[in-house]
A and B are shown apart, each in its own frame.
Chain A
Amino acid sequence: MLNKKDLLSIEDLSKKEIISIIKNADNFYKNKKISIKERVLNNRTQINLFFENSTRTQVSFEIAGTLLGASVVNFPLSNSSQSKGETLIDLAATLNSMNPDILVIRHPNSGSVQLISEKVTCPVVNAGDGNHEHPTQALLDLLTIQKRVGRTDNLKIAICGDISHSRVARSNIFCHKKLGNKITLIGPKTLIPRNIDKLGVDISYNMADGLRDVDVVMVLRLQKERMDGGYFSSEREYFHLYGLDDRKMKYAKPKAIIMHPGPMNRGIEIDGNLADNLDKSVITMQVEAGLAVRMSVLELLLKNKNENV
């Protein structure tokens, strides 16, 4: 059950809702062939609206919708009305008039997906808004953890890197706080917001301390342009301090898994060989889980919509 019109954030979800999305996603994960009558998005229109460049998330949502029977439209933004000065709300109203059944939106400003959701009648899925949230990423991470670690509670999780500018980090923090897991944020002090400890997470500025006995290591992508902003000094120093490699991985539990939302910078936030080590790295599995989670979310939101009609 998902008792909402939209999926805008993990913060809005209850633990029960998180678990039910994952449970539903697990069915899709196990059974990728969906019979025609189970395709809840048959004769439905899904519009993907990506104001920010994205390949994997957009394609993942596109395939998820298609597998469920939807007609998926990728709204072309590069040559769209945005460059002609149309406002976000006008664009939302225009799309709403085309009567889509579901909208999937990514936007570079925090809160913008919520803003659109208030102006349209169909369900909206937040595929990432600014530095705010990326709920399906946290959900697919959770499904991956469940499959590989075997549980979703009683976990110790480290999130490493640029926490300040990461919507993935925020969604994962909200998710794992709700599940009662222990979270440690690791990164340079410049990239960890000062007040974030009030969310009930531990903070560590070095990997040796932060990774001690964790079950899950989440590595975040380092945006290289942050270097110019004075957040860190060089890629090699960053890799030395925070790049995940075999040496630092020894502090984690022996069976700990490594996650990364992609795309990776090999040799900056993660050692290339370690990323390819399938005993530890679950990065490709995350992509697979992403598809299942997105199918689950689309289905649950659409079921809601049908019931409310």
Chain B
Amino acid sequence: MSKTTFINAILIDPKSNTLANGSLTIEDGFIDKINGPSKGAIIDCKNKYLAPGIIDLGVHICEPGERHKESFKSASMAAASGGVTSIVTFPNTIPVIDNPELLEFFIKRARESSKVRIFPTAAITKKVEGKEISELSFLQDAGAIAFTNGLKTIKNPKILLRALNYASSLQSLFIGHCEDYYLSNKVSATSSLFSTKMGLSSAPRETELMGLERDALLSDLAKVNYHAAQITTKKSFLKIKELKSKRNNISAGISIHHLLFDESYIENYRTFFKLSPPLRSISDKEFILKNIKDDTIDTISSFHLPQDEESKRLPFEKAAFGAIGLQTLLPACLKLVHDKILDLPTLFKKISLNPAKLLNLKTGILKEDYPADLILFDPDKPFTVDRFELLSKAKNTPFDGYKLYGEVLKTFVKGNEIYKSRNTIDT
């Protein structure tokens, strides 16, 4: 029986919303005791923070199909060094994860190559085309933990309603991308003075509210658990808040990039800031930041979407959407803590506890008998992001050159140390 005790740690418990000095013992991959007697090997945390590992919901790993952008191996290394112990993948690969055989292959590859846990979602419609429903039951049996069409909205409400009904009968979660298809198709920015001055095709931010209202109505009809992946405008935030007061099967997330950046960052046609949905106005961003600490937005994720240099070195309207974020998710989120917008337990509620609860995963919490998915980190350590030093294969981070704070010292999955910083406290 292998045992390890972390002593002199500051334990972050998102469940009880507390920060406390203490110790934690793990045994055979599980949390054995909190504040019990020291047993086995001792790790002196020297008053650094011990928290449940991050669960990043909505990650694109480009395997199969585009391994030059990202593979399980590279994504896993990036995740581990960023304190992400569980990755919830989107199915928009080439080919799309829309059948059980492919999902089995996907899971096999993930097991072989990834040190962090991979929880796959599967495509709710074949090829994410929004036309035919995938074999949801087979996919669920094969290991799909939720269904989604990724960043592609289902155009036809009739198909969406049927798909949601079908998913509902399987008690599954649906993760939706809230945008009206016709308004948002082929546009690269939010309508504003910026997009007008820059001459960019744009859609009004209300497209998100339209998508949300439709999805909310249909998911209510289908009685399915619905998660709005990215809520990025004031109006849709207020809508979610209203919906949550009436029903308990709806939840919402946001990308950290939409919390830290706004449309002004696309000035000079900087394609690393071309995201889906597009970055919003300063007032939208500030409104959500001001309200992020309440329970309206459940989850904060990276929406990691690797793109090669060629797909970003293009005129803005031609360039691909998306930014990588696995490795920078924690330091970027810690900016919210340093700016006194969130405290550490609330942050970990949104990056660990809530995603776990949403997906019924037994992780995301410091609790006896739970798997020892843990991170030890120093929230104050400054560093400057150099995109070429990141471990993801693709280097499209919007944080290049930014000074961020926070370093992961050790990462554990099921009690195994899978990452150790060069500046580790061991030495």
Contact = CB atoms under 8 A, between A and B. Distances in A.
Interface of A: 11, 87-89, 107, 109-112, 114-115, 129-133, 167, 170, 193-196, 198-199
A129 B199 contact: yes
B317 A109 contact: yes
A87 B310 contact: yes
Contacts of A87: 310, 313-314
A188 to B, nearest CB: 16
A127 to B, nearest CB: 15
Interface string B163-204: 000000000000000000000000000011101111111001
A131 B199 contact: yes
Contacts of A133: 199
A132 B199 CA distance: 4
A194 B204 contact: yes
Contacts of A194: 191, 204
A195 B193 contact: yes
B318 interface: yes
A87 B311 CA distance: 10
Tell me which of A107, A114, A130 has the highest count of chain B C-beta atoms within 10 A of its own C-beta. A130
Nearest to B281: A195
A199 B314 CA distance: 28
B193 A170 contact: no
Interface residues of B, number: 20
A115 B315 contact: yes
Contacts of A195: 191-193, 195-196
A39 B192 CA distance: 44
B316 A110 contact: yes
B269 A110 contact: yes
A110 B204 contact: no
B268 interface: yes
Interface string B288-299: 000000000000
The 3 closest A-B pairs by CB, nearest first: A132-B199, A111-B269, A131-B199
B135 to A, nearest CB: 37
29 contacts: A87-B310, A87-B313, A87-B314, A89-B313, A109-B317, A110-B198, A110-B315, A111-B198, A111-B199, A111-B200, A111-B268, A112-B315, A114-B269, A115-B269, A115-B315, A129-B199, A131-B199, A131-B200, A132-B199, A133-B199, A170-B197, A193-B191, A193-B196, A194-B191, A195-B191, A195-B196, A196-B193, A198-B193, A199-B197
A194 B313 CA distance: 30
Interface in B204-262: 204
A130 B269 CA distance: 13
Nearest to A192: B196
Contacts of A114: 268-269
Given A112-B315, A194-B191, 4 more contacts: A107-B315, A109-B317, A109-B318, A132-B198
B196 A109 contact: no
Given A87-B310, A87-B313, A110 B193 contact: no
B262 to A, nearest CB: 15
A169 to B, nearest CB: 10
Given A88-B315, A109-B318, A130 B199 contact: yes
Nearest to A131: B199
A59 to B, nearest CB: 24
A170 B198 CA distance: 9
A195 B317 CA distance: 20
Nearest to A11: B197
B192 A109 contact: no
A170 B200 CA distance: 12
A209 B193 CA distance: 24
B193 A111 contact: no
Contact of B316 (A11, A89, A111, A167): A111
Nearest to B202: A193
Contact of A110 (B199, B310, B314): B199
A170 B193 CA distance: 12
Contacts of B315: 88, 107, 109-112, 115, 130
Contacts of A167: 199
Interface in B144-159: none
Nearest to A174: B197
Contacts of B198: 110-111, 132
Tell me which of A109, A111, A193 has the highest count of chain B C-beta atoms within 10 A of its own C-beta. A111
B144 to A, nearest CB: 37
B51 to A, nearest CB: 42
Nearest to B192: A195
Contacts of B199: 110-111, 129-133, 167, 170
B314 A88 contact: yes
A11 B193 CA distance: 14
A103 B314 CA distance: 19
Contacts of B268: 111, 114
A133 B196 CA distance: 11
A110 B317 contact: yes
B204 to A, nearest CB: 7
Given A110-B199, A114-B268, A199 B193 contact: yes
B320 to A, nearest CB: 13
A159 to B, nearest CB: 14
A300 B41 CA distance: 74
Contacts of A89: 313
A110 B200 contact: yes
Contacts of B201: 131
B190 to A, nearest CB: 10
Contacts of A109: 315-318
A114 B266 CA distance: 14
A49 to B, nearest CB: 14
A299 B197 CA distance: 28
Contacts of A193: 191, 195-196
Contacts of B195: 193, 195
A16 B88 CA distance: 56
